[in-house]
Chains A and B, each alone.
Chain A
């Protein structure tokens, strides 16, 4: 049963992401409104996939990524960065910080769903550390 963490300071966006991913069978969703909360969710139990906004109060998404990638145990959780068009952070910066996938808002639900499905399938195939 995949557990998906949705991180965005906008409640509307979190709802939209959740709705886009509702077709994923048995998925359990947890949410966080900023970077610190995201890391708390990760501390509370393993997650299968993270949908991560970048520009948030209390810890920027890039710092969340860097933190995860530096530490064994969380270093290979797939992360879809979902950021607003025109954000300062470029695709290259996000990928370098450890993003698995980089999508921009506004996003099409189908595109996000495809990305999530692919990453969850990859993750399932890979042995857990």
Chain B
């Protein structure tokens, strides 16, 4: 116990440290966001406000536990943010640097207090932050504008949502806070305020910009949220005009846009919620299925149509097919975002880490404009981050070691992206010491991993590095360790149907290469087993799942049937379709697809689960099989074929005795 523990609130130190952890985590996240605003005319205002509040809270609680060093530090950081908020300072690279340094020092001070260690001196950092505030003020004065910085644009609210709290609602867990969260997940809240109703009760009014459908409205209504559209005079022509929220002269921007159709640098971008694109993609999928159904219907009536008319219909059908494909590809393209989104954060991670480890590292970014699916971007962030951290902590040598080896004292890491056909390639290369094969082998043996005899090549080396339980350094290596390791990188890459390769040369450097498909479609699917083979069936196509007893199947001519909703449902055994041996089971699971007369049951041995799958189209003409829409990896490394039920059903109805040659494709 240190003498400090006798303060009036020493009982709350655990609460204090826990809350500090939360704030510091938020601070780190927001600093990375804010860093993206450097040099831009507009600052991410939400991030700025949130960051300010974190420092403000840290100051407040640190004061309560009499940790003056933390209080003073947080105060100086808060002052800089205050200056930014009020437009008295511009966000500079030095400023962000000082914030990073200050935040790190704050973490150290709090950590030292927690460990009962002497506190590190903070004066130098406080002075540096102070200088940035003062310097920022002069920058600003000499800058072209003296008004507060432009802030991120907000959408024009279209809905007014009113929520009246009550004890009943609270009992059901519906509170103003949960309501606010719900609204903000549906759209952007631009205004939230309480008001008093004519009856003298309190209600909350939220103005939001969102696309709302009947289902959402009904769910909200059930929880006491009343929604009404915001009607404004002459709003029709300006409905989609973005205006500067909180900006000093919104009217000016508004007028300019309306009058000249874009006098004030109109934005050519719209922000779209990813789920809307997913919905759109699903709609296209439905369209594809409908298209297949239409083909089937047409086939039935073909002989009753004069051949000249039939040709015209066929031409139209082909045109629709082509347009549908273009539409699908167009939507896929909308989902592409520049890989720079991941890269932008890296310089700070590298700088932070290099400073901590006392190394000199230069990071070079290449191909930031390379486009990649939004879904992939989010999932690639952690693996790339990990590899970059690895390059700094394991790859690049300390300056003295580099000089001794005849290299420049500053190490270089090149992070690059490029597309080749449908593949995106991300390289993380360093000019460091290279992977020490002998050390890796020794370490692998020490932790009990099987090591092949003789010299190991790079693919073996990579396998060892990625083996669960392998870590070349002690747990204390916080920087790249963080309990994830290469095993997680490998797993993440494989889950995305990608690959990871390694090149390394002792003393010259290391290069990790990630190769991923540019686009992916994501869908929910049921996973089924047939004669030991696994198939995925997109859930959207399935109307119902049922279980039938083999003994109860009716034999009608060459087809099997089962009673279903007052009619007979033809059953197709998936195994027979693909030439697999019949199951010995006495019960089968059946997917029902289609409705009415075109309903069909696809029988499998059993359904083993439901998964969100990443669909990868099979592009190779040699392994393309009708009825198979693609392949996926369930995470266990095995390729699983994805059935295209609509196509299967169509073919089955046309030629029930057909056997698909799909087994080869799975290999």
Contact = CB atoms under 8 A, between A and B. Distances in A.
Interface of A: 9-13, 15-16, 19, 33-34, 36-37, 39-40, 42-45, 55-59, 63, 67, 71, 73, 84-88, 105-109
Given A9-B57, A13-B60, A16-B64, A44 B165 contact: yes
A106 B66 contact: yes
Nearest to A41: B165
B12 interface: yes
Nearest to B18: A12
A106 B64 contact: yes
Nearest to B60: A84
Interface stretch (B100-108, B195-203, B313-321, B639-647): B195-203
Given A12-B64, A36-B192, A86-B59, A109 B8 contact: yes
A36 B66 contact: no
What are the nearest 7 A-B pairs in CB distance?
A43-B202, A106-B63, A84-B60, A12-B15, A40-B176, A39-B194, A40-B165
Contacts of A86: 59, 75, 78
Interface in B281-297: none
Contacts of B200: 73
Contacts of A11: 15, 19
Contacts of A16: 9, 12, 64
Contacts, number: 94
A107 B192 CA distance: 31
B624 to A, nearest CB: 54
A39 to B, nearest CB: 5
B140 interface: no
Interface string B239-254: 0000000000000000
B64 A44 contact: no
Contacts of A73: 200
Given A12-B15, A85-B59, 4 more contacts: A9-B57, A55-B56, A57-B49, A84-B59
A88 B201 CA distance: 32
Interface of B: 8-9, 11-12, 15-16, 18-19, 49-50, 53, 56-57, 59-61, 63-64, 66, 75, 78, 82, 165-167, 170, 175-177, 180, 192-194, 196, 200-202, 204
B64 A105 contact: yes
B552 to A, nearest CB: 59
Contacts of A39: 176, 194, 202, 204
In this complex, the member of B16, B19, B61, B75 whose beta carbon has the largest number of chain A beta carbons within 10 angstroms is: B61
Given A73-B200, A108-B8, A84 B56 contact: yes
Given A12-B15, A16-B12, A59-B193, A36 B63 contact: no
Nearest to B61: A12
Contact of B19 (A12, A63, A109): A12
A98 to B, nearest CB: 15
A50 B19 CA distance: 23
Q: Most A CB atoms within 10 A — which of B15, B49, B200?
A: B15
B12 A36 contact: no
Contacts of B194: 36, 39, 59, 67
B15 A15 contact: yes
Nearest to A86: B75
Given A43-B201, A71-B196, A34 B63 contact: no
Nearest to B56: A55
